[in-house]
Structure 1
Amino acid sequence: MGIGTGVSCLVSKACNGAELTNCDGGVVLQHAAIQPFGFLLAASPDWKIVRASANLEEFLGVSCEHALRQPLSGIIMPRTLHAIRNRLTVIRGPVMFERLSGIAFAEGGPIFDVALYCTEAGIVIEAEPSQREGHGGPTLSMPAMMARIDQAPGLEAFFRESARQARAITGFDRVMVCRFDDEGSGEIVAEAARSGIGSLLGLHFPPTDIAAQERTFHARNLFRIIPDVDAAPVPVVPELDEHGRAIDLSLSILRSVPSGHTDYLKDMGVAASFSVPIVVDGRLWGLFACHHYAARLLSVERRLTAELFARMFASRLETRLCRLALEFENGARKIVERLLGAVVENTALPHDPAWLAEALAGAVPADGIGVWIGGRTALTGLAPSQQKFSALIDRLNGMASGHVFVTDRVAELWPEAEPNGDVAGVMAIATSQPPRDYIVFFRQEILGSVHWASSGPAEHDADSQALAPHKSFQAWSELMRGRSLPFSAAERHVAETIRVTLEAIRRLTR
């Protein structure tokens, strides 16, 4: 098979909807520019150069204009071209790319590290000067790093130790573990930082801090590197092909950075950043976000080590989260079993609202509980007044809400709720036929439980105002006004178990 035929087959696979999501209606990120720490060549299926970055001459001594429409063999020596072709034959799947390390494009020329991937229009070759660190690099310490995070006794310690190990790999001034919620808001749950730059631990930020297209980029790519926020983007020429399409750089390592994001980093005094996605159960759970206060280009070797660490971290995190969910459900099951045991001794207990509220305390994480049985009530912890609780029950009875009703924005359901009041989340369990009796778990507004881990965001020097964290927190606060922490799927499952148990008890004690 010739080189041109091989690439043609690969492009055909990419565009049949089975191999690459950018051809089957998925999101394609298009930016016709790259960062200047490397160069780019794009080739058509017949192996001719159809695009090149404007800085090509800086790396290969060939101008961008001269390279366009030439065969790749005109600027890449046969041995390297053969190696590229062989790597392309193993690319499979929607988000895959291949690498070549320490190769030259011309005999006796400089050595590059290369990334290869396919787009609808052909193949893309990205290259940057090699930074070989030699033997004894950070990869050799991976088992020890994993052992340290495995020994962490809880999630908080697990996150904290993982941030420390990620900082040991990258050498950045600050490394943070950022967690996203279902709507894209984020929280810094752990950090490791050099002394004297303050803390961002506990910072919450809105979805707008990471644009939707950047989030899509993180979900598709192994990492995101910005060695210098002041570096000028390098255009890819031509900007549009003959079909009017920009080049698809959704898998690009060199891809340029939206100005809004670099402005955000500059506001924080950050000069370089590096982030690695944390993917748990197939979704973007969060990021390892690394900041440096001077320009810093991380070597390919350390980037790949960080990416491997993030994958292993994600696997262990998934195991821990599954274990915690199981422990939670086992704990809730024991509460239900104790409830059943008590009823055997005294069949009147399930009709006592105060006893039921006490018996179910801790079954679902909540700040308060309300029980309504035939108009008799019991309210404990953070809960509304008797009058407002009665109004809520009337509202629930007027809804076809099913057996378990959940909301983290109770004001939308319950107009009587005070604006910005303490109670913001409700899980209501109907335990009889209409008009129903209810067990209601209450949660406070998220803002009531948020605290900074330090007096404020970092201050780096007299010229850096570090305004971005404060602005982000204020924007997030406005977004979270009147909302509680959502009830999880595991908590809903426990609520359904409580409902079924109480209905069975009532049938037996009539």
Structure 2
Amino acid sequence: MSKACNGADLTNCDGGATLQRAAIQPFGFLLAASPDWRIVRASANLEEFLGVGCEHVLRQPLSGIIMSRTLHTIRNRLTVIRGPVMIERLSGIAFAEGGPIFDVALHCSEGEIVIEAEPSQREGQGGSTLSMPAMMARIDQAQTLEAFFRESARQARGITGFDRVMVYRFDDEGSGEIVAEAARSGIGSLLGLHFPAADIAAEERALYARSLFRIIADVDAAPVPVVPELDEHGRAIDLSLSSLHATTSGHIDYLKDMGVAASFSIPIVVDGRLWGLFACHHYAARLLPVERRLTAEHFAQMVASRLETRECRLALEFETGARKIVERLLTAVADNTGLPDDPAWLAEVLAGAIPADGIGVWIGGRTALTGLAPSQQQFSALIDRLNGMIAGHVFATDRVAELWPEAELNGDVAGLMAIPTSQPARDYIVFFRQEILGTVHWAGASSRPAEHDAGSHALTFHKSFRAWSELMRGRSLPFSGAQRHVAETIRVTLGAVRRLNG
């Protein structure tokens, strides 16, 4: 899509410029202190919030601008930080007696203590009044993953009040898909759109796995520099854990082209990996109160936990179903030992064991081909190729053309899983999958938010989808770990049957 940063908006990290840029958004201020509690950096808007210019506080003790009671609270809270990625938060504290009330975030960065503060918003700006248990109960009632994602997006929109909330899922290589959305009427749908991995750089995905949310309150707000830009060692401040950090001008331009004025994103981390994001867009400036941000953060963690449970259950159900197929095979073989040498029977009995668009069986030169599969001649050439490259183990690829450039398989076959059934490997069961573009449903026709610069928005998304489509040419959906495990079970079972039959 663009070469700017903030994965919530499905864009590239621009070489990490956002993370190192010494600037913040103007809805708060920043102070950085050395281990001896002297101010070594400050944002240029400090006077707006504390009544003292940043040039007057540098190299001065923090106690000069933060009253002792508050400074003591900050010091105590810092003692619980363990590791480089923890963030501690304080709500409703004053820096001076009788002064304004701030919400504060604390973290440590390269030996500096970073204090970020913004005026407390005691009154929420809309959003759901449901309790977390009630929200999760609605999600738990979803019978399918699609319904689970859809309800999650609805509840996230209730919490944040953003015009559009999307559930954005990464695949194993970083490409993304919008699998659910909740949006106010009249702005169209982005559901089903796909985006290349380059749209959210690897550095940004790694950062999402460390940090908990990203926010852009107003695309028209001028960024505020942090001074000095470089320390005595020539280093810029690392703002990767900052909730105030400014983003690149390229990304701001991209959001404006889409008509988006504010964004907010929360990572969905499942089993230690970045599964995806809640990506939120608003068509007017919107500063989500800290309380709402933390609620959304907690909600995303709860959704991730539920999602992990559902994925494990689905994997177990798949393996249980495949095991029943194997049991059926064994039962049938007990009554007729010649069945494992019948390609047509094997193709029929194993057709549902692995999700695929076609299946081919090769036993001693006899074949059976069903569904999406190569021709007999192509299948024979494929078996020769497999015999020359695998040694009795299950083999899978989602890019047959890269494995076998000279092959021109009919039927848009793009991926395969080959299970050797004899030793040495010469007989095979092969599951075929079509090119992934044949399975994609693109909501492009309805992806234009009619009230917000629709033409520019549509062009941006069409361009990204075309880029993703080019990357997907000649590729199928990959075979999962659970599917490989089932294939290995089939290999071992058929091998044992053949040995018993001598």
Report the TM range for the smaller structure's normalisation: over 0.9
Query: Within the alignment, does 1:69 sit opposite 2:59 as a pair?
Result: yes
Query: Within the alignment, does 1:166 sit opposite 2:156 as a pair?
Result: yes
Q: 1:495: which partner in 2?
A: 487
TM-score scaled by length of structure 2: 0.93
Measured after TM superposition, the shift of residue 111 of structure 1 is: 1.0
Residues 161-217 of structure 1, C-alpha deviations (whole Å, 9 max, x = no match): 110000000000000111001111000000000011110000100112223332222
Give 1:338's aligned amino acid.
Answer: R
Measured after TM superposition, the shift of residue 436 of structure 1 is: 1.0
Q: 1:231: which partner in 2?
A: 221
Whole-Å separation in 1 of the counterparts to 2:119 and 2:324: 60
The 3 A distance-change label for structure 1 pair 136 and 172 is closer
Q: Report which structure shows greater RCO (CA 8 Å, sep ≥6).
A: 2
Whole-Å separation in 2 of the counterparts to 1:341 and 1:71: 80
Q: Is contact 1:382-1:444 (8 Å) kept? A: yes
Q: 2:25: which partner in 1?
A: 35
Residues 17-61 of structure 1, C-alpha deviations (whole Å, 9 max, x = no match): xxxxxxxxxx99422111111110000011100001111111111
Q: Is contact 1:420-1:482 (8 Å) kept? A: no
The SS at the match of 1:455 is: helix
Whole-Å separation in 1 of the counterparts to 2:376 and 2:346: 17
Q: 1:452: which partner in 2?
A: 442
Whole-Å separation in 1 of the counterparts to 2:480 and 2:298: 29
The SS at the match of 2:20 is: coil
Q: Is contact 1:420-1:481 (8 Å) kept? A: no
Query: Within the alignment, does 1:81 sit opposite 2:71 as a pair?
Result: yes
Q: Which of 250-259 and 377-386 deviates more?
A: 250-259
Q: Is contact 2:37-2:62 (8 Å) kept? A: yes
Query: Quick one: which of 444, 463, 483 aligns to 1:471?
Result: 463
Q: Is contact 1:175-1:192 (8 Å) kept? A: yes
Q: Is contact 1:29-1:217 (8 Å) kept? A: no
Q: Is contact 2:358-2:370 (8 Å) kept? A: yes
Whole-Å separation in 2 of the counterparts to 1:129 and 1:435: 69
Query: Quick one: which of 145, 155, 173 aligns to 2:135?
Result: 145
Q: Is contact 1:445-1:482 (8 Å) kept? A: yes
Q: 2:116: which partner in 1?
A: 126
Q: 1:23: which partner in 2?
A: none
The 3 A distance-change label for structure 1 pair 239 and 322 is same
The 3 A distance-change label for structure 1 pair 421 and 347 is closer
Query: Quick one: which of 394, 397, 401 aligns to 1:407?
Result: 397
Give 1:71's aligned amino acid.
Answer: P
Q: 1:240: which partner in 2?
A: 230
Measured after TM superposition, the shift of residue 149 of structure 1 is: 0.2
Whole-Å separation in 2 of the counterparts to 1:46 and 1:312: 39
The 3 A distance-change label for structure 1 pair 96 and 247 is same
Q: Is contact 1:29-1:213 (8 Å) kept? A: no
Q: Which of 307-316 and 214-223 deviates more?
A: 214-223
Q: 2:298: which partner in 1?
A: 308
Q: 1:361: which partner in 2?
A: 351
Query: Within the alignment, does 1:391 sit opposite 2:389 as a pair?
Result: no
Q: Which of 328-337 and 89-98 deviates more?
A: 89-98
The 3 A distance-change label for structure 1 pair 455 and 28 is closer
Q: 2:320: which partner in 1?
A: 330
Q: Which of 279-288 and 398-407 deviates more?
A: 398-407
Whole-Å separation in 2 of the counterparts to 1:357 and 1:259: 57
Q: 2:272: which partner in 1?
A: 282
The SS at the match of 2:245 is: coil
Query: Quick one: which of 319, 323, 327 aligns to 2:309?
Result: 319
Measured after TM superposition, the shift of residue 453 of structure 1 is: 3.8
Measured after TM superposition, the shift of residue 322 of structure 1 is: 0.1
Query: Within the alignment, does 1:506 sit opposite 2:492 as a pair?
Result: no
Measured after TM superposition, the shift of residue 370 of structure 1 is: 0.6
Q: Is contact 2:373-2:410 (8 Å) kept? A: no
Runs of 4+ in 1 over 4 A off after TM superposition: 134-140
Give 1:306's aligned amino acid.
Answer: A
Residues 101-125 of structure 1, C-alpha deviations (whole Å, 9 max, x = no match): 1111112211110000011232000
The 3 A distance-change label for structure 1 pair 401 and 192 is farther
RMSD over equivalenced CA pairs, Å: 1.9
Q: 1:14: which partner in 2?
A: none
* Percent identical: 84
Measured after TM superposition, the shift of residue 221 of structure 1 is: 1.0
Q: Is contact 2:392-2:423 (8 Å) kept? A: no
Whole-Å separation in 2 of the counterparts to 1:379 and 1:436: 17
Residues 444-496 of structure 1, C-alpha deviations (whole Å, 9 max, x = no match): 11100001246241233363421222111111111111111110110000000
Whole-Å separation in 2 of the counterparts to 1:223 and 1:424: 37
Whole-Å separation in 2 of the counterparts to 1:421 and 1:73: 73
Whole-Å separation in 2 of the counterparts to 1:260 and 1:508: 67
Query: Within the alignment, does 1:209 sit opposite 2:166 as a pair?
Result: no
The 3 A distance-change label for structure 1 pair 323 and 435 is closer
Measured after TM superposition, the shift of residue 401 of structure 1 is: 4.8
Structure 2 unaligned segments of length 5 or more: list them: 1-16
Measured after TM superposition, the shift of residue 133 of structure 1 is: 2.3
Query: Within the alignment, does 1:218 sit opposite 2:208 as a pair?
Result: yes
Measured after TM superposition, the shift of residue 400 of structure 1 is: 3.6
TM-score scaled by length of structure 1: 0.92
Q: Which of 398-407 and 260-269 deviates more?
A: 260-269
Whole-Å separation in 2 of the counterparts to 1:205 and 1:28: 21
Residues 388-416 of structure 1, C-alpha deviations (whole Å, 9 max, x = no match): 11111111111145411111100111234
Q: Is contact 2:127-2:161 (8 Å) kept? A: no
Give 1:411's aligned amino acid.
Answer: A
Give 1:437's aligned amino acid.
Answer: D
The 3 A distance-change label for structure 1 pair 460 and 28 is closer
Give 1:117's aligned amino acid.
Answer: H
